[in-house]
Amino acid sequence: MNNKALIIITGAIVGVLAVLLVKLGNPQNMGVCIACFLRDISGALGLHQVNTVQYIRPEILGLVIGAFATAVVTRDFRVWGGSSTFTRFILGFFVMFGMLVFLGCPLRMILRMSAGDLNALVGLLGLVAGVALGAVFLRKGFTLGQAVIQNKSNGYMFPAIILVLLILLLTAPAFIFFSQQGPGSMHAPLAVSLGAGIVAGVLAQRTRLCLIGGIRDLILFKELYMLYGFIAIFVVALVGNLVVGNFNLGLAGQPIAHNDGVWNFLGMVLAGFGSVLLGGCPLRQLISASEGNTDSAVTIAGLLAGAAFAHNFGLAASAKGVPVPGQVAVVIGLIVVGAIAFWNVYFNLKTRKTSRREVTYDGGNKGCEGPGLS
Amino acid sequence: MMAEIKDARGLACPEPVLMVKNEIDKIGGGTIKVLVNTVAAKENISRLAGNQKWSVSIAEEGDGWLITLTK
């Protein structure tokens, strides 16, 4: 099967699963949302204490399990990292602020659009603007640098942590927080959520589905491949929402959303800008971390920390709107991400004057002194 | 004479593709060789080159692949 057909089928399946998960109990327009679900996990672990958004979301665990297993079977599991790891943590941290002010990752943004939420369209404009801004810096030579092969044990830690979370979910010990009210209390049956996550994880690993990558490739390379997947998600979820009666066109009164256009836009500018510098949206980071990329695992840690911080300090938006501290946080985030991009390009240009990236072929051993790849 | 080879190993998306794109835009035609070690970079570079009507050949090299583009 060719790649284009596979990514369209992947999008279609994710679209169906998303509608199904909402029908079976997930919060409205939140069949899958990587940002929201990581936020729920950080709450379940007690990293924040907002009792309406605490749950170990099985979809996240399934995505990782599915992607990890597929990567191992297809020999895509490669353990590497060390490319500006701490910078990635910081970027992940602020990307989460943007997404929690908009109320969704790029995936939920598409799902919100497919349910008629026009605020998500404003978010999409912001996301495109953010990616375009990041693309300017990429063109100027922004780089987080080369990752190197790492000891294999590094790569198994992320899936191992996910396995521990699965055990905590199944055993539900008293020290783990599970919301009794609000979005965190709303979920499809565990087995369905986990199964849906696994299916999506397998497909996302094979296709490298990523909306940020899709918009970025369109801007940089006039390349549509990645966007086909998201068009498929949108179309299938739209049809699904119309069928189950979950389509409600408009700006006001949308579920788990607010209609403050300026902050929907700016929140997603921040999300898009930071994500494109990171090389992918939270979904892609999650899949990549499952494939042995330890930098992506640290990015996930940054996203989790950002979610905890956002809820501990009342930065996240709610249906009521965006609190002032949340607005300040988005502005600070834009300044920080902008500064990271600017200084990265500046120092790159400075060093590039003395050493050039091009190398003479040396037999393929540069940077590969650790154990060989499987 | 040894061919000059671009080293895109260990770089994350979209840097390997951007590296090749810049080279394609710069030379317009000829031969470009690039080393990659991720499947994503291999596929993305092949797709870009194909779209720009360059012919692509891929050989396994060590831990990754040596991609040769010609036009």
pLDDT at A1: 58
Arithmetic mean of pLDDT, A112-133: 98
Query: DSSP letter string over A53-73?
Result: S----HHHHHHHHHHHHHHHH
Residue B45 inside a domain? The answer is: yes
Q: Could you read off the pLDDT of B37-70 as tens digits, one per residue?
A: 888 889 889 988 988 899 999 999 888 899 999 9
> B1 in a domain, yes or no?
no
Among chain B residues, CA nearest to A365 = B62
**Looking at residue A216, what is its pLDDT?**
95
Q: Name the residue with higher pLDDT: A192 or B10.
A: A192
Residues in A closer than 8 angstroms to B4, CB to CB, are: 358, 360
Query: Which of the 8 DSSP states describes residue A312?
Result: H
| Domain assignment present for B48 | yes
Say what the pTM is: 0.92
**What are the distances in angstroms from CA B69 to CA A3, A232, B42, B51, B59?**
21, 32, 12, 12, 12
Checking if the pLDDT of A358 tops 60, the result is no
CATH number for the domain spanning B11: value is 3.30.110.40
Mean pLDDT for A215-226 is 92
CB–CB contact A361 B3 (8 Å):
yes
Contact between chains at A360 and B4 (C-beta distance less than 8 A):
yes
Q: Which of residues 105-164 of A touch B (CB under 8 A)?
A: 138-139, 143-149
Chain A residues closer than 8 Å to B51 by CB: 221-223
Task: Tell whether B12 lies on the interface with A, counting CB pairs under 8 A.
Answer: yes
Does residue B19 fall inside a structural domain?
Answer: yes
Q: Regarding predicted confidence, which is higher, B48 or A69? A: A69
Q: State the Cα–Cα distance between residues A368 and A5, nearest whole angstrom.
A: 35
CB contact under 8 A, B37 and A363: no
- On the question of pLDDT at A331 being above 70, the answer is yes
> What is the helix (H) or strand (E) element at residue A247, kind and residue range?
none
Domain range enclosing B33: 6-70
Confidence of residue A369 (pLDDT cuts 50, 70, 90): very low
Q: Is the pLDDT of residue A354 over 50?
A: yes
Could you give the CA distance from residue A158 to residue A211 in angstroms, rounded to a whole number? 23
Query: How far B27 CA sits from the closest chain A CA (Å)?
Result: 15
Contacts of A136 (CB under 8 A, 6+ apart): none
Q: Which residue of A has its CA nearest to B51?
A: A223
Whether residues B5 and A359 touch (CB distance < 8 A) is answered with yes
Task: Note whether B27 contacts A: Cβ–Cβ < 8 A.
Answer: no
Are residues B63 and A208, on separate chains, in Cβ contact within 8 Å? no
- Whether the pLDDT of residue A366 is over 50: the answer is no
Interchain CB distance below 8 Å, B4 and A358 = yes
Number of domains in chain B: 1
Place of tokens 């002194």: A369
Give per-residue pLDDT as tens, A37-55.
999 999 999 999 999 999 9
Q: Which amino acid is at B55?
A: S
A355 pLDDT tier (thresholds 50, 70, 90): low
Indicate yes or no: CB of A368 within 8 angstroms of CB of B63.
Answer: yes
Q: Considering the domain boundaries, does residue B23 fall inside one?
A: yes
Q: What is the ipTM of this complex?
A: 0.87
A374, pLDDT greater than 70: no
B30 has a chain A CB within 8 A of its CB: no
Burial A256-291 (b: 16+ CB within 10 A, else e): bbbbbbebbbbbbbbbbbbbbbbbbbbbbbbbbbbb
Contact residues on chain A for B19, CB-CB shorter than 8 A:
357
Taking CB atoms and an 8 Å limit, are B12 and A144 in contact across chains?
A: yes
Please write the tens of the pLDDT for every residue from A268-290. 999 999 999 999 999 999 999 99
pLDDT of A362 higher than 50: no
